Each structure stands twice: as C-alpha cells, then as structure tokens.
C-alpha cells in the first residue's frame, strides 16, 4: 500500500506533553479531563497550541504548533499550561508529569469515551487498562522520505540515552519497582508498540503497513506505536520513548538533543556518509538497561559491542553536536542536559523524596506537583544561566 509522507520543514520541531490531573488534597488522580477540555475549548480555538484528551480521563495533552526552534515550541507548551491552569487552579486540580503516578491504581481509572480507545481496551484488556503512563512526543521535520528510516535506525542507538535522561517512573501502583523507567517496559506490551522494526527504506514500511492493515492488526499508520516512528501525516520522525518530563527546561533539553541528532544524521546522509547502527539485540538490551538503571546504565554503542557508561557517551555526543545546536538556536536549551547528568533525573529525585519521607508516596506526588508548578519556566531557566 502507498503511505504518503507529508512535506515538512527540515529539523522543525513539534512537542506533545501528557499531563496528569490530581486532587490538590490527596494527590490521587482525578477523571476530570472532559470538563477541563470543555472549559478551555473556546478560549484556545485560535491558538497555535492545542489541549486535547488522552486514553484516560485523568490526562490532558498539550501540543505545540510547528516551531522553527525548540524555544518556540516550548513557548507554545507554556502558553497551553497557562490556559489549562485558568480552569484547574480555581477547581482544586493540580498538574504534574512523570512516567507514572506513584500510587494510583489502574482499576480506579476511567477510559475516555472515544471509539478508538474503547477498541484498544477491548483488544488489549488488562494490559490496556494498565496503561497508566505519561510521556512526551518530539516531532522533528524530515524533508526527504528516503532519509526517514536511515535516521530512525541511527537514532535507535541513542534510545537508551533519551530514556535514561527522561526516566521518571520508579514507582507503580504504590510499589517501588527497582526500575528507573517502569513505563518503558509497560508500554511495549501493546501489540504495535516497542522498538521499531529495523526497516531499511520507505518501501519496506509501506509493505509492513500493507501486512498490518490487510490482516486487521491496525487501520492506519497512526496505530504504529513504536519508540521511534515515522509520522507520515506530518512529515516527521516522532520520538516516543521518553517518560513524561517534570519541568519545562527538562522537556526543552531532551527535545533539543533529539532535534540536533536528527539534523546531525541528516547532514551525514547529505554528505554520502554512513550512519552508525548496531545489532537489534544490542538495541533491545540497551533499552532494558536504561529502563532498569537510568543514568547509571552502561550501554552498547557500536556493532563491536563496546560498552560505556551512558553518561560518558552522552557527554561525548553533546560535544560532537555542539556546533549544530548553535546553528539550530538550541545550544542553551541543550546545556540543561548537563544539569540532569550532574543533579539526577526525575526518577532519582522521586526516590530521594520517598527515602526522606519514610516511603510516603503522597510526598512524592507533592514533590512532582511542586516541580511542575514552581520549577523554572524555560525563559527563567535561560535567564538564570546567561
């Protein structure tokens, strides 16, 4: 089957941020997304950003317009949060983001009343109902469809780096899991989710889609839920591997890293140079290591099986793409990666709060709410680092 790939501006950026709604007193999840969406619909109709629902009624998703820079896309996200708060603050609803809620139970959550979500739950049953997960999605424009799968395959080497930086789901249904990102392993249980198949070109993707549609596995490309996937409707590569980020500067930093990596690989293709890939079994092992150990993981970085600390390889990568970050006007956003490397990702902060409070997971929720509300905006963060 033919799958058209839309035209998009090279290395343009679009962001999606899934946000939990929680009770201001108890910290538990609230199924109030429908009323939030109704309340902001009219006032946001003409904005660049959107505010929409998700699988569960305890979640709203804010989406940027297409940005020439990461900063422009993050500004849209910040404006969307302000719009959501105009309703949630007066109604005792707090906002927070992480890959999982520390203590909420799946059987207490309600599914959004849309046909696509009911079909998903009907098919996936217990695993579908357990999708109490929150993430970010980063779209980067690709101007040539022939570049899409070479770039996806090269990006797969960096999946553990992105997963470790964003890891924020150490708790699940009131239990400490021992994983930095439990979300990563839960999400891949959906039948079309997980690591991308190592396809070589767009024709192979079209053949894959033909198989999936013909056998009733999916209806169209929007049901491909890989950790990195092509988004044909937008003409982008979409990275979906990351846990939900807890603050705007962290969201901006990871988005900048994804943007510069895509541009880096695109330039190598322009120069006729090969892109580094590794064996699928190494990619799978790397994903598990990053989910388990977060920024303490050692990852395989080449086809020979060389293993290095993910933090060290991240710093090498940042140095390699520094000039591209300057050209894309995201160098200052990218600098915040170093803050995460030295001060810890969200999972380690959550674990520290739990330890300090004697295991009180409501304290962890209060911490996440506080980070989301009081953490610096991107503008404030950049001003402080000037």
Token duo for residue 164: 């470790």
Contact between 271 and 264 under an 8 Å Cβ cutoff? The reply is no
Counted domains in the chain: 1
For 174-231, what is each residue's pLDDT tens digit?
999 999 999 999 999 999 999 999 999 999 999 999 999 999 999 999 999 999 999 9
In a domain, residue 4? The reply is no
Chain-centre distance of CA 80, in angstroms?
17
What is the pTM (predicted TM-score) of this model?
0.96
Domain that holds residue 243: 13-384
In a domain, residue 1? The reply is no
In a domain, residue 8? The reply is no
For 270-323, what is each residue's pLDDT tens digit?
999 999 999 999 999 999 999 999 999 999 999 999 999 999 999 999 999 999
In a domain, residue 6? The reply is no
In a domain, residue 5? The reply is no
Angle between helices 159-166 and 280-293 (to 10 degrees): 10
In a domain, residue 2? The reply is no
CATH label of the domain that carries residue 222: 3.30.590.20
For 318-370, what is each residue's pLDDT tens digit?
999 999 999 999 999 999 999 999 999 999 999 999 999 999 999 999 999 99
In a domain, residue 215? The reply is yes
């Amino acid at each position: 089957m033919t799958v058209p790939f839309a035209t998009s501006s090279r290395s343009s950026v679009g962001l999606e941020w899934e946000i939990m709604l929680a009770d201001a007193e108890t910290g538990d999840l609230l199924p109030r997304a429908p009323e939030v969406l109704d309340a902001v619909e009219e006032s946001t109709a003409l904005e660049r950003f959107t505010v929409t629902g998700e699988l569960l009624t305890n979640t709203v998703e804010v989406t940027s317009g297409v940005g020439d820079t990461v900063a422009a896309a993050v500004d849209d996200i910040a404006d969307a949060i302000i719009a959501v708060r105009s309703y949630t603050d007066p109604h005792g609803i707090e906002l927070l983001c992480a890959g999982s809620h520390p203590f909420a139970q799946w059987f207490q959550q309600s599914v959004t009343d849309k046909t696509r979500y009911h079909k998903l739950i009907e098919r996936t049953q217990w695993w579908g109902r357990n999708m109490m997960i929150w993430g970010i999605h980063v779209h980067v424009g690709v101007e040539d469809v022939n570049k899409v799968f070479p770039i996806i395959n090269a990006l797969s080497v960096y999946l553990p780096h992105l997963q470790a930086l964003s890891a924020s789901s150490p708790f699940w249904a009131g239990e400490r899991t021992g994983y930095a990102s439990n979300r990563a392993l839960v999400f891949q249980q959906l039948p079309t989710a997980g690591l991308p198949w190592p396809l070589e070109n767009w024709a192979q993707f079209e053949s894959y889609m033909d198989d999936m549609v013909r056998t009733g596995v999916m209806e169209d490309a929007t049901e491909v839920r890989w950790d990195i996937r092509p988004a044909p409707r937008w003409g982008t590569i979409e990275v979906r591997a990351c846990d939900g980020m807890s603050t705007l500067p962290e969201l901006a930093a990871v988005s900048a890293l994804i943007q510069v990596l895509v541009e880096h690989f695109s330039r190598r293709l322009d120069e006729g140079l090969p892109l580094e890939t590794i064996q699928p079994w190494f990619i799978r092992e790397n994903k598990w290591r990053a989910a388990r150990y977060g920024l303490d993981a050692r990852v395989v970085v080449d086809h020979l099986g060389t293993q290095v600390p993910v933090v060290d390889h991240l710093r090498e990568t940042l140095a390699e793409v520094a000039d591209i970050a300057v050209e894309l006007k995201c160098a200052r956003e990218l600098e915040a990666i170093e803050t995460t490397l030295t001060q810890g990702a969200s999972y380690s902060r959550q674990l520290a709060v739990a330890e300090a409070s004697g295991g009180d997971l409501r304290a962890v929720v209060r911490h996440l709410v506080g980070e989301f509300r009081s953490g610096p905006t991107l503008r404030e963060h950049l001003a402080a680092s000037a």
